[in-house]
Amino acid sequence: MKDSLKPGIRYEHKFVIPASKTVPALYPESPEFQAMPEVFATGYMVGFLEWACIICLKPHLDWPSEQSLGTHINVSHESATPPGLEVTATVEVTAVEGRRLTFAVSAHDGVDTIARGTHERFVIDRTRFENKLQSKRKDT
């Protein structure tokens, strides 16, 4: 981690919602999901917020040997977003405690606030993490 990684770092990320990021696309195997409205899925919204945090952190890590993984998310999903709208995620580092990072996150679809909350990430050494995974694979 670089010395530049401090609270107050902000990033804004934009993305136009395609049909492939809607509720029916989340689990194509599920007839229940297939019957639901074609709006931005909460699962994809969480991933979009994580994406913004990853990009926010990238200049402050020794990328790609250092990366970050999500460890906790607490967000609302306040408004439905149909495909074709551009969503904007705004993320800000609010705490750096060793390798644990906390973010304030929000998203807007140009009409409504669609999400707000907090997200925690943990900085990992990619090689050490992969070695632990390999060990876990051998144990199963």
Q: What residues act catalytically?
A: 42, 50, 77
24-33 long-range contacts, CB within 8 A, separation 24+:
none
CA distance linking residue 25 with residue 123, whole number of Å: 30
Tokens of 105: 């996150």
- Extended beta strands in the chain, E state: 10-16, 66-77, 86-97, 100-108, 113-125
